[in-house]
Amino acid sequence: MSLLFCDLETFSDVPIAHGTHKYAARAEVLLWSWAIDDGPVHCWDVTETPVAPSELRVALHSPEVMTVWHNGGNFDRVVLGHALPALCPPIERIHDTMVMALTHGLPGALDTLGNLLGIPQEQRKDKRGRDLINLFCKPRPASSALRRATRMTHPTQWAEFIAYAEADVLAMRAIYRKLPSWNYRDRELALWHLDQQINARGVAVDLDLVQAAIRATTRAQTRLAVQTQDLTQGAVQAATQRDKLLAHILAEYGIGLPDLQASTLERRIEDPDVPSALRELLAIRLQASKSSAAKYLRVLQGASSDGRLRGLLQFCGASRTGRWAGRLFQPHNLPRPAHPQKVIDLGIEAMKADAEDLIFDDVMMLSSSAIRSVIVAPEGRKLVVADLANIEGRMLAWLADEEWKLQAFRDFDTITGWTTNKQGEPEAIRKGPDLYALAYAKSFGITADEVMDNKENGDGSMRQVGKVQELALGFAGGVGAFITFSLVYHIDLDAMAEAAIGRISHDTQREALEAWAWAEKKGRTFGLAQRTYVVCDAFKRLWREAHPHVVNFWAAIEDCARRAILLPGVTFPCGKLKLRRDGAWLRIALPSGRCLRYPSPQVDAQGKISYMGVHQYTRKWQRLKTYGGKLTENVTQAASRDVLADSMPAIEGAGYEIVLTVHDEILSEAPDTPEFNADHLAGLMATAPSWATGLPLAAAGFESYRYRKN
């Protein structure tokens, strides 16, 4: 099969930041650069000759030719669908070098890939291109007499632009030849094709709510700014002015705050020793810093003329594990609602009536809670949503062969009858206990019934601690991880320590005290009091004692990775995984058949493992360290993603049109009829793949005309 390498240069008066689909609706193709196999690069100047060259047309329509693009699925094909639909190839005849890179843990940018893969300088992306794109592909500034630069107004630069476009094809062709294809074939390639359908389908959005929320948050921000000015005597104009606010607090109250993160503000607001005026000021900052206003604006800017928001997912955007990443208004990073859905629904109607402040004191919190609700079902259809239950906890136990826990999941999934809860709603009677309750019970040698009794008749702290243990400690996390998750779930660590210290054995306390002494010496106590640190460390130790196979798995995968790096060409089994180094790649074969890829792996003189990758925070390509716990997290999240992905073709085949995936959740649109329901969708999701024998799965969901947190 021949290869047709293609690249477009386009113009639109819509900023690309508003999303490809909104951009593409008004886009024009300026240049189309192309080459067949190793042949010469040609450039079709569409602005000069509107009819495509015959050789290009024939190649585009030939089933014997595969087209190659960089970001061709999420950009070029979308633009062609609007601007030149007769020349738009089907997704099955597109290879996308950006997606190929992402599926193997490499960065997606063409110029970065050229550097990493050692592409000769003359074949790399031309750095002059940014200036040329700014000149020809975007409207000129409003202050400019010339509203648009063209080949007629800037002939010299246009010639450079053509050369730049041709260089892009050279760079892409060289990169395509060097990229691995292990993860870009068969089932994964078919999954990407489905991903493209989902992105093109998009979600229906309630634009009336979006506009109402923008009005409401604008009014709220104005009120909060006035209150800030009053409380600071005009020294700070708005609570969103971080540096000015910190300086004012230090000067006026003598309190130096390390930051203005929500957790810091909440602790200070609850501190009775903090002056009331400062507590009020911090509460205003907490309200004003809600990010929902920006998200509503992104929805408004990105929605297409038919009221749908498209292009929300990036396939393998979380490149280490292959999970999807969110785009545009970041559906994977939506705030946890602070109100129940009935209250949110009331707030939506209030915002649409411009009367939200008559009912709600904190309008910013209301708008933040309502952001999911912008996603709705179109007329005559409904949303059917389901979520895999504790998939990472189940997957970790399955990979590590922690059999008691696998059985605990199976027992919990087994419903033996039904009862009615305090709210008068039906509630399942299960064979086994809640896993968060069981985690706490296993740590302290009590029964899960005692933990659930504490939930029903006490403060519920035992189960909450068990939940934090499960979420924080499965990947070799320590006190720091426990603290992080405790803050997420608003656990008062000092009160927790006071309540739990008497339940911890003397031996465990002694070991935790030794850990405290070491942490104090190293300055790593996280600002905790000794008793609080000791209890957190004890929780870690007790969880590990209850999960010996998981702890062994951390050590085993690190040992296998180290040996594989040092002995290239040899396969090292690790439970259900296989590790092997070939050339510049360490591969971890998952049970699904997909592989995790670690470029340029190394083991230093101390036995520490590292590889090249994109840093989570700096977004730069650099050497990253890893260890058994982090490798365990990678394979657990990756295999969990494969479970979700494996169910998607069957879900589509059953008539549920997937419009979005959010972590372990699937949102679908379906006919508004009884045969399409949440139980059916959950059953499809909880069907174990053929490669996951013995993995207990469960899912649950809901049907609605408006998306919400279940």
Q: By three-state DSSP, how is residue 433 classified? A: coil
691, 591 contact by CB (below 8 A)? yes
Which tokens is 399 given? 């990979």
Average pLDDT over residues 153-161: 94
Residue 16: is its pLDDT beyond 70? yes
Residue 602, φ and ψ in degrees, nearest 5: -140, 155
pLDDT classification of 291: cutoffs 50, 70, 90: low
Which position has the higher pLDDT, 145 or 257?
257
Q: By three-state DSSP, how is residue 415 classified? A: strand
Which residues have a Cβ under 8 Å from the Cβ of 131 and sit 6 or more positions away?
A: none
Alpha carbon distance 682, 639 (integer Å): 19
336, 488 contact by CB (below 8 A)? no
The helix-helix angle for 435-444 and 461-473 (nearest 10°) equals 90
Q: Tell me the pLDDT tens digit for each residue of 206-247.
A: 999 999 999 999 999 999 899 999 899 999 998 888 899 999
Q: Tell me the pLDDT tens digit for each residue of 326-383.
A: 999 899 989 889 899 999 999 999 999 999 999 999 999 999 999 999 999 999 999 9
Residue 604: is its pLDDT beyond 90? yes
Residue 125: is its pLDDT beyond 60? no
> 65-69 and 2-11: which strand pairing?
parallel
**Residue 495 CA neighbour count, 13 Å, CB half:** 10
> 426-430 and 621-626: which strand pairing?
unpaired
- DSSP for 179-225 reads S--TTSSHHHHHHHHHHHHHHHH-EEE-HHHHHHHHHHHHHHHHHHH
Tell me what pLDDT residue 354 has.
96
Tell me what pLDDT residue 444 has.
78
- DSSP for 579-648 reads EEEETTEEEEE-TTS-EEEEES-EE-TT--EEEEEE-TTT--EEEEEE-HHHHHHHHHHHHHHHHHHHHH
Residue 262: is its pLDDT beyond 70? yes
Q: Structural domains in the chain?
A: 2-179 (3.30.420.10), 205-374 (no CATH), 433-546 (no CATH)
Residue 133: is its pLDDT beyond 80? yes
Tell me what pLDDT residue 266 has.
80
Q: Count other Cβ atoms within 10 Å, centred on residue 321.
A: 19
Reduced 3-state DSSP string for 460-497: CHHHHHHHHHHHHHCCCCCHHHHHHHHHHCCCCHHHHH
Alpha carbon distance 475, 455 (integer Å): 27
* Mean pLDDT lowest among 318-332, 610-624, 666-680: 610-624
Q: Tell me the pLDDT tens digit for each residue of 630-648.
A: 999 999 999 999 999 999 9
Alpha carbon distance 419, 429 (integer Å): 7
Instruction: Give 257: exposed, middle or buried? Use CB within 10 Å, 0-12, 13-18, 19+.
Output: middle
592, 689 contact by CB (below 8 A)? yes
Which tokens is 441 given? 């019970």
Tell me what pLDDT residue 695 has.
97
Tell me what pLDDT residue 123 has.
58
Tell me what pLDDT residue 122 has.
61
Q: What is the CA radius of gyration of the chain?
A: 28
Across 329-437, where does the E strand assignment appear?
375-376, 381-388, 415-420, 426-430
Tell me what pLDDT residue 121 has.
63
Question: Residue holding tokens 């031996």?
Answer: 507
Mean pLDDT of the chain: 92
Which position has the higher pLDDT, 254 or 68?
68
Average pLDDT over residues 408-417: 93
Question: Residue holding tokens 């649409």?
Answer: 352
- pTM of full prediction above 0.85: yes
Which position has the higher pLDDT, 423 or 53?
53
Tell me what pLDDT residue 696 has.
97
Question: Residue holding tokens 């009677």?
Answer: 429
Tell me what pLDDT residue 153 has.
93
Average pLDDT over residues 163-176: 93
Alpha carbon distance 200, 73 (integer Å): 10
Tell me what pLDDT residue 126 has.
59
Is the torsion defined by CA of 309, 315, 318, 324 positive or negative? positive
Average pLDDT over residues 467-475: 92
379, 705 contact by CB (below 8 A)? no
Classify residue 706 by its DSSP letter: B
Tell me what pLDDT residue 487 has.
82
Alpha carbon distance 91, 416 (integer Å): 47
Q: Tell me the pLDDT tens digit for each residue of 486-513.
A: 888 888 888 888 888 888 999 999 999 9
Q: Count other Cβ atoms within 10 Å, centred on residue 407.
A: 13
Q: Tell me the pLDDT tens digit for each residue of 584-594.
A: 999 999 999 99
pLDDT classification of 151: cutoffs 50, 70, 90: very high
Q: Tell me the pLDDT tens digit for each residue of 308-338.
A: 999 999 999 987 899 999 999 899 989 889 8
Q: Which of 644, 661, 653, 648 is nearest to 697 (CA)?
A: 644
Q: By three-state DSSP, how is residue 262 classified? A: helix
pLDDT classification of 558: cutoffs 50, 70, 90: very high
Tell me what pLDDT residue 309 has.
97
Q: Which run of H or of E encompasses 450? A: helix 448-457
Which residues have a Cβ under 8 Å from the Cβ of 394 and sit 6 or more positions away?
A: 406, 409, 695, 696, 697
Q: Tell me the pLDDT tens digit for each residue of 65-119.
A: 999 999 999 999 999 999 999 999 999 999 999 999 999 989 988 888 888 888 7
Classify residue 182 by its DSSP letter: T
pLDDT classification of 286: cutoffs 50, 70, 90: confident
